[in-house]
């Protein structure tokens, strides 16, 4: 399981998640931050510090939010 960053990050892009991730699985993209689902250890540290509640667990994604997981996978496939 991994965490996924959703649309509110695009407006805020605060970055607190970068500093607390113990495995450095979060990277800044052109529009938002992304979590590498292959590296994320599901610790929840990023979710706890996100000021806009943009981070959710992969299995809590609504069907219309699954595109954010796909975007993260594509981002890290490069």
String of DSSP letters for 4-66: EE-THHHHH---HHHHH-TT--EEE-SSSEEE-TTT-----HHHHH-TT--EEEGGG--GGGH
Q: How many residues does the structure list for the chain?
A: 78
pLDDT at 11: 86
Domain that holds residue 42: 3-77
- In this predicted model, what pLDDT tens digit does every residue of 44-65 receive, in sequence order? 999 999 999 999 999 999 999 9
- Residue 21: which CATH number? 3.30.70.20
Query: Does the predicted model carry a pTM greater than 0.75?
Result: yes
The pLDDT-based confidence of 78 (bands split at 50, 70, 90) is confident
Count of Cβ atoms closer than 10 Å to residue 65 Cβ: 14
Structural domains in the chain (count): 1
Per the CB < 8 A criterion, the answer to whether 60 and 40 are in contact is no
Q: Does residue 34 register a pLDDT over 90?
A: yes
């Amino acid at each position: 399981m991994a965490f996924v960053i959703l649309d509110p990050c695009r407006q805020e892009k605060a970055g607190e998640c970068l500093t607390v991730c113990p495995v450095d699985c979060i990277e800044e993209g052109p529009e938002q931050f992304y979590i590498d689902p292959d590296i994320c250890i599901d610790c929840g540290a990023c979710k706890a510090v996100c000021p806009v509640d943009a981070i959710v667990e992969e299995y809590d994604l609504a069907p219309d939010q699954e595109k954010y997981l796909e975007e993260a996978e594509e981002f890290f496939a490069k």
